Structure 1
Amino acid sequence: MAATQKLVKDIIDSKTGETTNKRRKGAKNSETAAKVALMKLKMHADGDKSLPQVGPRDF
């Protein structure tokens, strides 16, 4: 019974140790974070709707 409790405690301790390593999800510095935010903004940009969409062959 004591061996089972020790095994369970070891498993729980190993699971909590993994979450501390994976916890860092932020940027390494603010400059990189600003670049990523700008790229995400540009990715979803639609542009001015009043301008006609003319391709290179439509002239």
Structure 2
Amino acid sequence: MVRIFTLPIPVRTTHGRCLARFGIEPERAGDPWWVIYRDTHGRWLTAMVEGALPA
């Protein structure tokens, strides 16, 4: 399920730190989150994030 964050969540990606606007919740416990964010050029990108996201 796609989750829309009310406040952008700071996450570390291959491009450095970013503010994720959306996330795809893991189906099973221990699976990674996928977050959706914009890079400095305005492109939408995804990144896999291990562990729990900040509340």
TM-score range, shorter chain: under 0.3
- The structure whose residues are more often strand, as a share, is 2
- The structure whose residues are more often helix, as a share, is 1
TM-score with structure 2 length normalisation?
Answer: 0.18
TM-score with structure 1 length normalisation?
Answer: 0.18
Q: Which protein is bigger by CA-based radius of gyration? A: 1
Q: Name the structure, 1 or 2, with higher relative contact order (CA <8 Å, separation 6+).
A: 2
